[in-house]
Amino acid sequence: MLCVALYIIQAMLLCSVAVRDVKHPVRALAWLIIGIVLPFVGVGLYFVLYRRLPAQSRKQTGESPGKPDSTEVPPAISTPSGRNICRIVTHMTRAPAVPAECTVYSDGRAMYHALLRALRQARHSIDLEFYIFRADHIGMRVVDVLCEQARAGVRVRWIRDGVGSRSLPKAVVDRCEAAGIRCRVFYPVRFPWLSPRLNRRDHRKIVVVDGERAFVGGMNIGDEYTGQKDDVGRWRDTHLHIVGGGACRELSRVFERAWTLSSEERRRNNPSRHPRAVTDRLATEFSAEVAPPAHRPPPSSTHQGWVQTVDSGPDYPIPSVRNLFFAGLTQSESSVDIITPYFIPDTDLLTAMKVAVHKGVRVRLLVPEQPDHAAVGYVSRTFYPELLRAGIDVYLYQEGVLHAKVMIIDGETCVLGAANYDLRSFRTNYEVCQVVYSQALANYLERQFEADLQRSTPLNARWLANIPPWQRPVERVARLFAPLL
């Protein structure tokens, strides 16, 4: 009798998962399998990790209520796809495209050189928001500049993600707070640890200086992004430096929303860790690591363009970043080039890629040969045969780590930011992307894309035939759990 009762309860729980996640059937299927393999435990984990957050109103997300004042497209945006994408983004974000100066960095050394220079030149305010912030050579150089500026009277606010930056020593935070920096943690991991917040991370990388210049893209704060870390090797990334008050205001809006969701630091009542003692100790400990670099940073590219900001999160009214990628594919007329370290699209995006090819658009996808997460690699490879059969060109990057997130549409519209081409970025993480309309910038990124292809291997039928037999069932099983990665 007890077994029958437990069976009925388990069946009701599984049915509740299916009904509750009916809008995301693929994710529901993954959790149903977990619930069957781990009775009660699997369903319990689902309800803890995927408890619904209340949807944020447009006032809370910083968006203006109602329709935008105007969907007029700047005359400088000349391609039909660019004009259509601009209208779509304007309607989604309630913010029109604004002019800005944009500099693209694909090398971490050059980006950090420019970032440190901008931080030193700050006069009023510095806002930082990072998924990963490490207390290594680069991280401590940034901390030194922030502390100097805070002591000089500049308002400095710093958000770090509670999981991505969980290894950051408390002593570093104490030092920053002692200097006058306001520090917050986005959804910190605290008792009882398992909560809906654990699965919802702040994946953004944003710096806004004086409300006039900003840095946004794929690079966090850490030595690995310089490509000089022996156990990592060459790092291929993309980051954007924006100069212009209008574009920076939108990024400030994104930062302010994250600031309200973040938690204040919890200070320790430990006399041995007094902020003054921590400051003095760290100043000595890292004194050898704050000297300016001896190397000359590599060149970058600066162009004028029109910019829009698209951000999204699990409690937003619509999946804006996912809709942006969909708009780029469906509105394209001649070419779409995509660079992403993680490729796990949903059905609609996969269909949009194939339909774009059917109407004559050249679609090329550049992904790493070996993603830094093995499970992601297994899942991504299950999509490649389908893409190749549809006529999409797929390339595997061979030289080091590919971490860039770039989309170039019809030689004018560029999408750069922190969001990957995967379900986690679309539904679970807090993300941000910049849409830049500039033929000059697009041409620069296309040349960079062509150079990346020289370091890549194109996929073909021979590659598919050489997949080990044991790998195919592993990949199929991994794909079942794609919505959870």
Q: How do residues 101-113 score in pLDDT, each as one tens digit?
A: 999 999 899 999 9
Please count the other Cβ atoms lying within 10 Å of the Cβ belonging to residue 296: 9
Overall average pLDDT of the 227-252 stretch: 88
Residue 464 confidence (pLDDT) above 70 = yes
Q: Look up the pTM and report it.
A: 0.83
**Confidence label for 69 from pLDDT (cuts 50, 70 and 90):** low
Biggest CA-to-CA distance, the chain: 76
Domains 107-264+275-289 and 305-484 share a fold: yes
At 290 the pLDDT is 36
Residue 274 confidence (pLDDT) above 60 = no
Query: Average pLDDT of the chain?
Result: 82
Contact criterion met (CB below 8 Å) for 297 and 367: no
Three-state SS letters, the chain = CHHHHHHHHHHHHHHHHHHHCCCCHHHHHHHHHHHHHCCCHHHHHHHHHCCCCCCCCCCCCCCCCCCCCCCCCCCCCCCHHHHHHHHHHHHHHCCCCEEEEEEEECCHHHHHHHHHHHHHCCCCEEEEEECCECCCHHHHHHHHHHHHHHHCCCEEEEEEECCCCCCCCHHHHHHHHHCCCEEEEECCCCCCCCCHHHHCCECCEEEEECCCEEEEECCCECHHHHCCCCCCCCEECCEEEEECHHHHHHHHHHHHHHHHHCEECCCCCCHHHCHHHHHHHHHHHCHHHCCCCCCCCCCCEEEEEEEEEEEECCCCCCCHHHHHHHHHHHHCCCEEEEECCCEECCHHHHHHHHHHHHCCCEEEEEEECCCCCHHHHHHHHCCHHHHHHHCCEEEEECCCEECCCEEEECCCEEEEECCCEEHHHHHHCEEEEEEEECHHHHHHHHHHHHHHHCCEEECCHHHHHCCCCCHHHHHHHHHHCHHHC
Q: Where are the domains of the chain?
A: 2-49, 107-264+275-289, 305-484
At 477 the pLDDT is 64
Overall average pLDDT of the 224-236 stretch: 80
Overall average pLDDT of the 447-471 stretch: 84
Query: Token digits for 333?
Result: 């007329």
Topology adopted by domain 305-484: Endonuclease; Chain A (3.30.870)
Overall average pLDDT of the 121-142 stretch: 95
The lowest-confidence range among 14-18, 96-100, 239-243 is 14-18
Q: Which of 107, 116, 169 is nearest to 141 (CA)?
A: 116
Overall average pLDDT of the 261-277 stretch: 56
- CA distances 302 to 16, 70, 77, 443, 444, Å, are 53, 29, 18, 12, 9
Q: Which of 455, 320, 481 is nearest to 401 (CA)?
A: 455
Residue 66 confidence (pLDDT) above 80 = no
**Confidence label for 213 from pLDDT (cuts 50, 70 and 90):** very high
Residue 29 confidence (pLDDT) above 70 = no
At 391 the pLDDT is 93
Overall average pLDDT of the 442-462 stretch: 92
The vertex-248 CA angle with 245 and 254, nearest 5°, equals 145
Q: How do residues 278-300 score in pLDDT, each as one tens digit?
A: 444 444 443 334 334 444 445 55
At 199 the pLDDT is 73
Whole-number Å distance between alpha carbons of 255 and 182:
14
At 5 the pLDDT is 62
At 380 the pLDDT is 85
At 346 the pLDDT is 86
The most confident of the ranges 9-23, 218-232, 407-421, 463-477 is 407-421
Residue 257 confidence (pLDDT) above 80 = yes
Residue 181: HSE in the Cβ half-sphere, 13 Å Cα cutoff: 28
At 255 the pLDDT is 97
Structural domain 107-264+275-289, CATH architecture: 2-Layer Sandwich (3.30)
Residue 405 confidence (pLDDT) above 70 = yes
**Confidence label for 336 from pLDDT (cuts 50, 70 and 90):** very high
At 482 the pLDDT is 60
Give me the phi and psi of 413, to 5 degrees please.
-95, 125
The pLDDT > 90 percentage for the chain reads: 56
Q: How do residues 152-175 score in pLDDT, each as one tens digit?
A: 999 999 999 998 998 999 999 999
Residue indicated by tokens 């689902």? 46
Q: How do residues 338-353 score in pLDDT, each as one tens digit?
A: 999 999 898 899 999 9
| Pairing label, strands 343-344, 125-130 | unpaired
Whole-number Å distance between alpha carbons of 41 and 190:
21
At 247 the pLDDT is 93
Overall average pLDDT of the 16-41 stretch: 59
| Pairing label, strands 401-402, 406-409 | unpaired
Which of the residues are catalytic?
A: 203, 205, 210, 403, 405, 410
